[in-house]
Amino acid sequence: MPMTIEPIGEVRCQIKQPIRQGWGNVVSELVLKPEFAETTEGLEGFSHIIVLFWMHKVYPHPSPWGKIHPRGRQDLPLVGLFATRSPIRPNPIGMATVKLLERQGNILKVIGLDAIDGTPILDIKPYLPENDYVATAKFPDWVRWGEGK
pLDDT digits (tens, 9 = 90+) for 97-120: 999 999 999 999 999 999 999 999
136 located within any domain: yes
Residue 97 falls inside a structural domain: yes
Quick check: is 2 in a domain?
no
Would you tell me how many other CB atoms lie within 10 Å of the CB of residue 118?
A: 12
Look over the chain and give the mean of its residue pLDDT values, rounded to a whole number. 88
* pLDDT at residue 147, as a whole number: 43
Residue 107 lies in a domain: yes
Whether 129 maps to a domain, the answer reads yes
Domain that holds residue 131: 9-145
The closest alpha carbon to 115, from 5, 48, 24, 18, belongs to: 18
43-60 pLDDT per residue, tens: 999 999 999 999 988 766
CA distance 84 to 100: 26
Residue of 101 and 76 predicted with greater confidence: 101
Q: Give the number of domains in the chain.
A: 1
- Whether 77 is in a domain gets the answer yes
Q: Considering only CA atoms, which of 53, 66, 73 is closest in space to residue 147?
A: 73
The CATH number covering residue 60 comes to 2.40.30.70
pLDDT of residue 148: 44
The pTM of this model reads 0.86
